[in-house]
Amino acid sequence: MLDSASKTFFHLIAHSQTLKKLASRYGMRRPVSFARRFIAGETVAEAIEAARAVEARGMAVTLDLLGESVLNLDGADAATRDYLAMIDAMIASGIGRNISLKLTQLGLDVDKASAIDNLRKILERAEPAGFFVRIDMENSPYTALTLEIFETLWRHGYRHLGVVLQSALYRSENDLETINALGGRVRLVKGAYKEPKTVAYPKKADVDAAYGRMLKTLLTSGHDPAIATHDPAMIDLARTVAREHGIAPDRFEFQMLYGVRRDLQTLLVNAGYRVRIYIPFGREWFPYFMRRLGERPANVMFVIRGILGEAG
């Protein structure tokens, strides 16, 4: 993780509409294909091709059609239609049936009821076909609302639905207890957003410590736990906790992002663990890409080399 000032910088850039438009126009095109390391492409076909390659390496996938902060209901409806088409394309392709999505992409900023309706439409198509749908967690203004929507749909019987908790937030350990008690499935992450210290740990060491505590709780009393991190210390801890509590490797999974720590992904698969790769794609890739740059200085150099034509 970068220091707080750099994270703020990338957070601000991520929200620049002008840069977003420019990036969407040029970022994926050769020779400036610098975003390709983290994003599978702009189309479902490209994402499916990437998923096939990941599955050939012995890993599972979740596909994420990038998009967030949709500002009107037409945009939210279009995103919903795109998700439905993506589900159909995934079924036809035969790849693993697992998707991730964001509620602001489905209109949460515009109208909560419409966002829930859109999510229901997706679930109605996805669940009977055996898909699992993960609601990504966005920044802290959406935490309570996201968990409330998850819980409501869960109580309405949607069981192929899971949520994400961020160890960076003070509230998350309590949220984990609540979701475990409900029987819900959690993906545990550190948190990708710049947050105020009123709601989140300002120091990385505290975020890591909370991740360690939550990881233990999730593995020992969670349901189908997903340990989503590239941090070797956290991965070692998960392996130790599992061993000490007699939790078999097929009772939980590690999750990592497309293009990040491929070496570690392979190492875990070879050691007999389940690994799922989060494959993002689509034209709205810019904010996601900026969050990945904000996490690691080396990525910025990678992009600069890409712009100068040295990296593919």
Site residues for ligand FDA per CB under 6 A? 1, 136-137, 164, 166, 189-193, 228-231, 255-257, 260-261, 278, 292, 295-296, 299
Residue closer to ligand FDA by CB (options 240, 246) is 240
Contact 165, 137 (CB under 8 A): yes
Give yes or no: 187 in active site. yes
Give yes or no: 81 in active site. no
Q: Which residues pair with 256 in a beta bridge?
A: 277
- Alpha carbon 310 to its chain's center: 29
- Least CB distance to ligand FDA at residue 90 (A): 18
- Least CB distance to ligand FDA at residue 152 (A): 19
- Least CB distance to ligand FDA at residue 302 (A): 9
Residue closer to ligand FDA by CB (options 41, 259) is 259
Residue closer to ligand FDA by CB (options 41, 191) is 191
- Least CB distance to ligand FDA at residue 139 (A): 8
Q: Which of 187, 276, 291, 292 is catalytic?
A: 187
**Sequence-separated contacts (24+) of 150-157 with Cβ below 8 Å:** 150/179, 150/184, 151/182, 151/184, 152/116, 153/116, 153/119, 153/120, 153/123, 154/182, 154/183, 154/184
Residue closer to ligand FDA by CB (options 44, 192) is 192
Give me the active site residues, please: 136, 187
